[in-house]
Amino acid sequence: MKKIAILNGPNLERLGRRQPEIYGTATLKDLERLLRTEAKTLGVALSFFQSNHEGALIDRIHAFADRGVDGFIVNFGGYSHTSIALRDALAASGKPAIEVHISDIRKRELFRRNSITAGACIAMICGRGLPGYVEALRRLAKS
């Protein structure tokens, strides 16, 4: 059974309350339920982690890689645009990763349009809301 880790970064624990006009009204728990349902269909095991702290996310990438995770789905939030360290951690993991953004970062503020961390990923999905995570899960399950 494939093992996929879903890592969410800063402010994503605020889903459902934070700017619902951009991110919708579903919560992080709703996202986890959605993905668990799809994972059962695909025969994939999931692990979830969310942190507002860059170092905690890096530590978890290392730990998941060391435990034999087969791939990552990541939404590093604002760190996507600033963190070379997270990019390096993903690249060093040797595991495929797909970056997901709920909103379309290419249509947002200029500072959000470039993702540093996407360079360590096999794909980036943005602007599809929570179904973007499901698409990422399906892609990793097939790879």
Q: What number of other Cβ atoms are within 10 A of residue 70's Cβ? A: 17
CB 61 within 8 Å of CB 87: no
Among residues 70, 74, 78, 76, the alpha carbon closest in space to that of 45 is found at 70
CA separation for the pair 72, 75 (Å, rounded):
10
Annotated active-site positions, please? Answer: 23, 101
